[in-house]
């Protein structure tokens, strides 16, 4: 269940999250690291019982360290994380899993982004 939700989130989030920063400018390690940080922040908000409609506001109020455009992924990731059971969230580090999957699937994600951009 966790892998399915993360796979869906992994495909959705980076497509919009890095629009302002070209992947070649940022690099996959940094991009995936930031995406993992965003996922961790959403997971923490869920565990802290932040209402889903207040997640983005709550996370942004904490002045996150990632580039601003990565915050665009918060609503998409929240949709997936808030579908999960809290007990599953307590047992898994979604940020680490998300970062690892991003690194593993980087080339496919970039190909999808290029295809959607019409390149």
Q: Say what the pLDDT of residue 6 is.
A: 56
In the predicted model, what is the mean pLDDT of residues 92-97? 94
Structure pTM?
Answer: 0.79
pLDDT of residue 113: 78
Give the model's confidence band at 19: pLDDT under 50 very low, under 70 low, under 90 confident, else very high. Answer: very low
Q: Using 50, 70 and 90 to split pLDDT, how confident is the model at 4?
A: low
Cα 19 from Cα 58, distance rounded (Å): 23
- 93 secondary structure, DSSP code: -
Mean pLDDT score of the chain = 84
Mean pLDDT value across residues 52-70: 96
Most confident of 1-15, 72-86, 105-119: 72-86
pLDDT at 5 exceeding the cut of 70: no
Q: Categorize the per-residue pLDDT at 20 as very low, low, confident or very high, splitting at 50, 70 and 90.
A: very low
CA atoms within 13 A on the CB side of 48: 11
Residues 103, 109: Cα–Cα separation, whole Å = 10
Token code pair at residue 21 = 């920063």
- Residue 89 has what pLDDT? 93
């Amino acid at each position: 269940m966790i892998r399915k939700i993360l796979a869906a989130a992994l495909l959705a989030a980076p497509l919009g999250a890095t629009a302002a920063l070209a992947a070649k400018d940022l690099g996959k390690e940094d991009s995936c690291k930031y995406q993992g940080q965003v996922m961790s922040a959403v997971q923490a908000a869920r565990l802290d019982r932040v209402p889903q409609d207040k997640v983005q506001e709550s996370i942004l109020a904490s002045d996150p360290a990632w580039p601003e455009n990565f915050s665009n992924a918060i609503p998409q990731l929240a949709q997936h994380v808030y579908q999960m059971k809290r007990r599953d969230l307590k047992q898994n580090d979604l940020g680490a899993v998300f970062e690892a999957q991003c690194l593993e699937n980087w080339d496919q994600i970039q190909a999808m982004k290029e295809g959607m951009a019409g390149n």
